[in-house]
Amino acid sequence: MSQPDPDLFDQESNALLSARVVYNVETGDAASYRAALGELINSFDQLMRQTRRLIRHSDRQELEMNRLNHRLTDLSNELEYRATHDPLTGALNRAAVIERAHRFLENHDMAMIVLDIDHFKQINDSFGHPVGDAVICGLVECLRRTLATPGEIGRVGGEEFTVILPQQDCAQAQQIAERMRLAIAGHDFSLPNASRITASFGVCWMPAGGDFRTAYSEADEAMYEAKRTGRNRVIRADQILRAGKRGQ
């Protein structure tokens, strides 16, 4: 048979019990009353000391729990950030761009810009990878400065970026892309030979319920058309589609 848990207040309960017995017995004398009262006072003292100690202990435990909870929240935010952002630029990573674009498209129209740095290999080859990395960071800064409307900037490949623009039409997205193109072309990237950086842009638009893959491949195709036709320019996907139909 298992033993019952010891009563934490055994001593105090006994003191209370004897005091009750003395109190209830009419023949009780003064000495017994005094002894019972002394016992009660001692027990009460002890109870207060232990209660204070327990409260201090539980306060410390609560502080530690709060500290651990904050740390856990910080770590979970950090994990979430790392899982969704490119470590070099702080822009969204490819998976996060896809996820957010899917989410936007469920309920909203969305425009999309795809851009790629022109002749980037030459930058790496001429000045080294760290300079190439600095150009990538500088370019994302240009995009951030230029993006005045709500939207998300993502790095979907080495030197390829996407800007998703919920509830913007194709003409608005084209204007935004044009401002970005000018911001990059006008920016001083502090390259050793003082040369300038440019990028080529493709723009497309999708109605709510549209498919991310289709939007991306249309914008990407428009970006490659911008590369083929001289780089440092913005091409809209619907312009290519119209030109294609006319050529048929």
12, 39, 109, 116: which one binds ligand GTP (CB under 6 A): 116
Q: For residue 205, state whether it binds ligand GTP (rule: CB under 6 A).
A: no
Q: For residue 82, state whether it binds ligand GTP (rule: CB under 6 A).
A: no
Using the rule CB under 6 A, give the single segment among 17-25, 48-56, 125-133, 189-197 that binds ligand GTP. 125-133
Q: For residue 159, state whether it binds ligand GTP (rule: CB under 6 A).
A: yes
111, 132, 226, 237: which one binds ligand GTP (CB under 6 A): 132
- C-alpha span between 248 and 107 (Å, rounded): 35
- C-alpha span between 101 and 167 (Å, rounded): 12
Q: Which residue is nearest to ligand GTP (CB)?
A: 158
Site for ligand GTP in 214-243 (CB under 6 A): 227, 231
Nearest distance from C-beta of residue 103 to ligand GTP, angstroms: 27
Nearest distance from C-beta of residue 241 to ligand GTP, angstroms: 23
Nearest distance from C-beta of residue 159 to ligand GTP, angstroms: 5
Nearest distance from C-beta of residue 227 to ligand GTP, angstroms: 5
60, 71, 119, 213: which one binds ligand GTP (CB under 6 A): 119
- C-alpha span between 159 and 155 (Å, rounded): 8
108-138: b (≥16 Cβ within 10 Å) or e: ebbbbbbbbbbebeebbeebeeebbebbbeb
What single letter denotes the amino acid at residue 191?
A: L
The token pair at 123 is 């930058």
The token pair at 3 is 């033993």
Q: Closest by alpha carbon to 233, among 241, 244, 243, 223?
A: 223
Residues in the interface with ligand GTP (CB under 6 A) total 15
The token pair at 13 is 């309960």
**Catalytic (active-site) positions:** 159
Using the rule CB under 6 A, give the single segment among 21-29, 70-78, 116-124, 206-214 that binds ligand GTP. 116-124
Q: For residue 121, state whether it binds ligand GTP (rule: CB under 6 A).
A: yes
- C-alpha span between 103 and 86 (Å, rounded): 20
Q: For residue 161, state whether it binds ligand GTP (rule: CB under 6 A).
A: no
Nearer to ligand GTP, 129 or 242 (CB): 129
Q: Indicate the Cα dihedral angle 8, 13, 15, 20, nearest 10°.
A: 170
The token pair at 15 is 């003191």
> Position of tokens 């997205």?
173
Which residue ranges make up the site for ligand GTP (CB under 6 A)? Answer: 116-121, 124, 129, 132-133, 136, 158-159, 227, 231
